[in-house]
Amino acid sequence: MVNRRIAEILRSGQPDEQIAIKGWVRTRRESKGFAFLEVNDGSSLANLQVVLNADMPNYAEVIKQLNTGASLEVAGILVASPGKGQRIELQASNVTVYGDADPKTYPLQKKGHSFEFLREIGHLRSRTNSFGAVFRVRNACARAIHQFFQERGFLWIHTPIISASDCEGAGEMFAVTSFNLKDVPLTEAKEVDYSKDFFGKPAYLTVSGQLEAEVMAMAFSNVYTFGPTFRAENSNTSRHLAEFWMVEPEMAFCDLQGDMDLAEAFLKHVFKYVMETCPEDMAFFNERIDKSVLATADNIINNQFERLTYTDAIALLEKADKQFQYPVKWGLDLQSEHERYLAEEVFKKPVILTDYPTEIKAFYMRLNDDEKTVRAMDILAPKIGEIIGGSQREERLDVLERRIKAQGLNSEDYWWYLDLRRYGTVPHAGFGLGFERLVQFMTGMGNIRDVIPFPRAPLTVEF
Ligand code: ATP
Ligand code: MN
């Protein structure tokens, strides 16, 4: 007999088909002469209803074991469901229990649990409706990302997870060492002697693959990274993880305009793809998590993003009749409250801010002629704030060297990065998207720890 996935059966299964399914019991209801099981195999939000007749050969024996959480195989015949709520159900002829789940200890009983509680049982939470929906949508986002870039001829490149460069201090870094921490070799000056460490110099978990992506863009024109990055952010926010995934396209022969156009088309594509492939999960989020999820997706797909300069945004914020916790002044980095005010209250859609003050942005961003601003762009999204950060890169060797010095960095550390400007330099641009921020934004999930299967955050590394 053919084993089939429940999503496919609910979509296209027909009465009289002989089938078998495998999955986990969500609920069991007994009535005279029958038992009803709701079975889920992770392929969809909806369960398949399974009907067991009490005259089934091993009924008495299996029914005891079929509690919430038990795993099983059911073989039987599909029948049109006389009950409300489902088109089709499975009339069981044979049930095999793989593993039971003691109802006295299995923590996922029928009632709704808080996300905080579910984080404490991270190994089981994916068996709930909410996390099932989140991780199916996360998968769809990942597919959409690859599809978007692959269709446009971008090369997916794998940048290193262990890196010696700190990408201009994008965030606090985790050190990578093979030293025995109880006996670290010291120099005569009593400093750590990295020459004796595994790599012969300090090494870290990467905070961004951008500098390496630029290397690859100078050979393949259009590339993207999609992989894990790490930041030792000692901040317990609902938007920061210590380990998160980033998507970083990098395009040669591209300016900030092209960068913004690509980023906007990219977000639209991902939303469209998820709406088309996960309508049931998205409807669930809209109903249970955040009533604005579908409207937001519609807004992203169908509206042009607002574009304005940082300077104009500051003027708007200064005029706002709203008390910000952090007062606004030209030259200051925008806080999440400012970003959200612009996206949620002023424009009510995503906003692309450009041309930020030189002082608050990284050395590699292209200097404007006014020397006060750089060709940076951030995309600010309602509810989330910054979701994408990008820029046109500085392709002029002399300007780049000057900027490295001005930021107190050592240009020798960047010798290979500077070589890209010595040999065949071109205008180029790219951006970074925090993958979990995207999934958060898409699903309306309030805490970033609930959109990655195994969150890493301060004091959080259990599962
Ligand atoms: P924030 O100000 O929110 O901390 P950032 O300025 O440090 O962000 P970038 O260095 O520009 O962020 O990183 C690129 C993208 O990665 C951000 O736009 C954001 O979507 C995401 N991101 C940054 N830090 C984290 C984190 N700790 N956890 C999850 N995503 C993150
Ligand atoms: Mn940060």
Nearest atom in ligand 1 to 235's CA: 27
Nearest CA to ligand 1 atom 24: 240
Question: Can you give the pLDDT at residue 169?
Answer: 61
Nearest CA to ligand 1 atom 4: 240
Nearest CA to ligand 1 atom 17: 434
Q: What one-character-per-residue DSSP string does 288-315 give?
A: HT-TTHHHHHHHHHHSPPEEEEHHHHHH
Residue 381 Cα to ligand 1 middle (Å): 13
pTM for this predicted structure: 0.95
Structure tokens at 407: 């930021």
Residue-wise pLDDT for 381-433, tens only, equals 887 778 899 999 999 999 999 999 998 889 998 999 999 999 999 999 999 99
Q: What one-character-per-residue DSSP string does 19-56 give?
A: EEEEEEEEEEEEETTEEEEEEE-SS-SSPEEEEEETTS
Q: Quick check: 364 pLDDT over 70?
A: yes
Q: Quick check: 72 pLDDT over 70?
A: yes
Q: Quick check: 177 pLDDT over 80?
A: yes
Identify the bridge partners of residue 223 per DSSP, sorted by sequence position.
Answer: 155, 250
Distance CA 67, CA 110 (A): 11
Nearest to 367 by CA among 412, 404, 420: 404
H helical segments located in 183-303: 210-220, 256-277, 279-288, 293-302
Nearest CA to ligand 1 atom 30: 434
Indicate if the alpha-carbon torsion angle 112, 273, 441, 238 is positive or negative. positive
Residue-wise pLDDT for 429-446, tens only, equals 999 999 999 999 999 999
Share of the chain above pLDDT 70, in %: 98
Question: Can you give the pLDDT at residue 336?
Answer: 87
Please state, in angstroms and as integers, the Cα–Cα distance from residue 108 to each residue in 73, 116, 258, 396, 458, following that order.
20, 13, 49, 59, 26
394 touches 365 (CB < 8 A): yes
Structure tokens at 286: 């809209």
- Per the model's pLDDT, the better-predicted residue between 57 and 305 turns out to be 305
Distance CA 128, CA 26 (A): 9
Please state, in angstroms and as integers, the Cα–Cα distance from residue 462 to each residue in 160, 455, 456, following that order.
25, 9, 9
Report the pocket of ligand 1 as residue ranges, CB < 6 Å: 170-171, 231, 233, 239-241, 244, 246, 386-389, 432-434, 436-437, 448
Angle at 56 between CA 50 and CA 57, to 5 degrees: 135
Residue-wise pLDDT for 31-41, tens only, equals 899 999 999 99
Distance CA 55, CA 363 (A): 75
Indicate if the alpha-carbon torsion angle 336, 165, 377, 368 is positive or negative. positive
Distance CA 5, CA 17 (A): 14
